[in-house]
Amino acid sequence: MEVAQQETLALAAEKEAVEVSGSVALLEALIIEGVETIFGYPGGAIMPIYDALYDYNEKLQHILVRHEQGGIHAGQGYARTSGKVGVVFATSGPGATNLVTGLADAQIDSTPLVCITGQVFAHLLGTDAFQETDVINITTPVTKWNYQVTDANELPEVIAKAFYIAKSGRPGPVLIDITKNAQIQKFQFKGYTPCDHIRSYRPKPIVRPQYIQQAAELINQAKKPFVIWGQGVILGSAEQEFKTFIEKSGIPAAWTILGAGAIPTEHPLNVGMLGMHGNYGPNVLTNDCDVLIAIGMRFDDRVTGRLDKYAKQAKVIHLDIDPAEIDKNVKSTVPVWGDCKETLPLLTQLVEQKQHTEWVHKFNDYTRQEVEQVINAELNPTSGEMTMGEVIKQLNDITKGEAVIVTDVGQHQMVACRYAKFNNTRSNVTSGGLGTMGFALPAAIGAKFGAKDRTVVAIIGDGGFQMTIQELGTIMQSKVDVKIIILNNRFLGMVRQWQELFNEKRYSFVDIQSPDFVAVAAAYGIAGKAISDREDLPGALQEMINNKGSFLLEVFVTKENNVFPMVPQGCSVSEIRLK
């Protein structure tokens, strides 16, 4: 950075007005917000910001992705592992519209992002200028907030609001669209002050003590209480408060896929995964408990199955920071509004120390049935082609449950979420609500930048990998260390499973052909190996983990293996099938 510019910004830090461009003011704001890494792709409408970024390469690390969708998924992965706001740059028109899938994914999975898009000059807005799109109206349904800046004087306040909104309350994505004239425009910059309050915006609802009291009374009277928790525990940094609550109350607890890792997989009160491909006991016993305590989860349809048959016998206590989620899908008996980091300690104070030994044993009994009928065959096959489950089991043996696991969408996702071991929070990164194929490879890149000292393993299907395969170029250029496992069953596996079970094996366009993935990786300078024999698996996994730098391991698994248990669509969770 030039000496004159350094002096200018030093004065700005002292609140003396100095003349800078909108682009410089933006970058100064990012630094004060603690941003270290930006994922982006330049273009004409955002070129002034990139020109200013040239002088900031020692303070702001920019990762050049190969597609804007890759950039926003990388931002999501970074946010999920670091707990910070992910930052993404894109240009106007197609650059901005390429962010939409990632915005929708981040919105439904409550991931904090600030996306900066360039826009045509203000006087060209509405003229169908080159690479102009109405990005504000396009992205309104898939952002927590968006705003278009046409005057540089607005930038400091707008950026401050963007970060505050993205990370406060229930987090989410924010998009700021900046016209080119506002990026170039010089204005009197008086420094940057982060935002901590916005009139009419209340990120956390007021905690109502009477509801805490009512919830505690129900829990203390319960004979068969059951906790189901989601990502809200992790987003609220309430892992310890949650652990203290279940250990004092002695209540068995099950998780949604985004909640995985809030307590260790092997915790004695962790009874498994909920939902369509969740564990047998948690699904069946949802319809047997007398008090259902939902913490930081939204009763997604993949968790509830048929709502008219979901937990009708139970009194429902719902703890959530977003009042819109309470009573949206499942009617609560006691709504507990608020941040669970605040509400859980209040509830823990009032609940009695208990051990629901017989009730916990009932979950264990269902687990034994599942082990005998499903899990043993999946994790410990003795013949035939390899299964996805045995790959995850052996990966657990090597990583000891300490790795960050990033999954794409499909059968491999369900298998990985079911069988991966998570000893730490912020270890499971996946596309939950939107189910975005192509998510894992770029998200794993971002996850590694967000968790530099941890092993990051991306587990991807042969279909999803080809949706964002170009991000191998990002790995090559940034030299990020990501381990990639492709579980190749030569099918679009989850769709094929449904076609087998519900469409009489009419396999319509799910037989997918793929290139030599190891050769493709080699073209990007990434080491790799492909295996199909069971005896080669332990050594190949160890080679991947030990390799200095990224590594791609392609594992050919059985073609027509199905993921069970399964709650068929339109059925009750208690109608879950083991085969």
Per-residue model confidence as pLDDT tens digits over 197-236 = 999 999 999 999 999 999 999 999 999 999 999 999 999 9
Burial of residue 41, with CB atoms counted within 10 A of its CB: 0-12 exposed, 13-18 middle, 19 or more buried: buried
Answer whether 307's CB lies under 8 Å from 330's CB.
yes
Only one residue has tokens 């109405």, namely 134
Identify the pLDDT of residue 15: 61
In which order are the strands placed within the sheet that holds 483-488?
428-429, 404-407, 456-461, 483-488, 551-556, 527-531
Answer whether 316's CB lies under 8 Å from 326's CB.
no
CA distance 460 to 441: 8
Could you tell me the residue ranges of all domains in the chain?
3-189, 209-362, 385-557
In CATH, what is the architecture of 385-557? 3-Layer(aba) Sandwich (3.40)
SS3 1: coil
DSSP string, 370-385: HIIIIIHHHHS--SSS
What does each C-alpha distance from 30 to 79, 84, 96 come to in angstroms?
Answer: 15, 12, 20
Identify the pLDDT of residue 16: 82
Identify the pLDDT of residue 11: 44
Identify the pLDDT of residue 517: 98
CA distance 177 to 406: 30
Active-site residue, from 5, 36, 121, 131: 131
Answer whether 8's CB lies under 8 Å from 20's CB.
yes
Let me know if 68 is a catalytic residue. Answer: yes
What does the DSSP 8-state code read for residue 55? G
DSSP string, 460-524: EEHHHHTTSGGGHHHHHHHT---EEEEEE-SS-HHHHHHHHHHSTT---S-------HHHHHHHT
Over its length of 579 residues, how does the chain's per-residue pLDDT go in tens digits? 444 455 445 444 556 899 999 999 999 999 999 999 999 999 999 999 999 999 999 999 999 999 999 999 999 999 999 999 999 999 999 999 999 999 999 999 999 999 999 999 999 999 999 999 999 999 999 999 999 999 999 999 999 999 999 999 999 999 999 999 999 999 999 999 999 999 999 999 999 999 999 999 999 999 999 999 999 999 999 999 999 999 999 999 999 999 999 999 999 999 999 999 999 999 999 999 999 999 999 999 999 999 999 999 999 999 999 999 999 999 999 999 999 999 999 999 999 999 999 999 999 999 999 999 999 999 999 899 999 999 999 999 999 999 999 999 999 999 999 999 999 999 999 999 999 999 999 999 999 999 999 999 999 999 999 999 999 999 999 999 999 999 999 999 999 999 999 999 999 999 999 999 999 999 999 999 999 999 999 999 999 999 999 999 999 999 999 999 999 988 999 999 998
What angle, 0 to 180 degrees and rounded to 10, lies between the N-to-C axes of helices 388-399 and 537-546? 50
Q: Which residues contact 199 (CB under 8 A, 6 or more apart)?
A: none
* Cα-Cα end-to-end distance for the chain: 64
CATH number for the 3-189 domain, one of 3.30.565.10, 3.40.50.2000, 3.90.700.10, 3.40.50.970? 3.40.50.970
| Domain 209-362 annotated CATH 1.20.1250.30 | no
Burial of residue 7, with CB atoms counted within 10 A of its CB: 0-12 exposed, 13-18 middle, 19 or more buried: exposed
What does each C-alpha distance from 105 to 112, 125, 350, 430, 443 come to in angstroms?
Answer: 11, 28, 37, 10, 12
Pairing between β-strand 551-556 and β-strand 428-429 as defined by DSSP bridges: unpaired
Identify the pLDDT of residue 2: 47
The helix (H) or strand (E) run that includes residue 315 is: strand 315-320
What does each C-alpha distance from 65 to 39, 76, 361, 445, 545 come to in angstroms?
Answer: 7, 14, 50, 10, 24
Q: Which residues contact 441 (CB under 8 A, 6 or more apart)?
A: 70, 408, 458, 460, 465, 468, 469, 471, 472, 484
Answer whether 231's CB lies under 8 Å from 277's CB.
no
Nearest residue to 21 via CA among 35, 3, 39, 5: 5
Active-site residue, from 33, 68, 325, 390: 68
SS3 293: strand
Nearest residue to 148 via CA among 183, 177, 121, 184: 177
Active-site residue, from 144, 161, 167, 180: 180
Let me know if 130 is a catalytic residue. Answer: yes
Active-site residue, from 273, 386, 494, 544: 494
Report if pTM > 0.85: yes
Which amino acid belongs to residue 167?
A: K
Whether the bond into 565 is cis, omega within 30 of 0? yes
Indicate if 385-557 has the same CATH topology as 209-362: yes
Task: Convert the pLDDT of each residue in 124-176 to its tens digit.
Answer: 999 999 999 999 999 999 999 999 999 999 999 999 999 999 999 999 999 99
Active-site residue, from 6, 7, 19, 130: 130
Answer whether 89's CB lies under 8 Å from 37's CB.
no
Let me know if 299 is a catalytic residue. Answer: no
The helix (H) or strand (E) run that includes residue 295 is: strand 291-295
Let me know if 189 is a catalytic residue. Answer: no
For 95-138, list the strands marked E by DSSP: 113-119
Identify the pLDDT of residue 4: 44
Which amino acid belongs to residue 74?
A: A
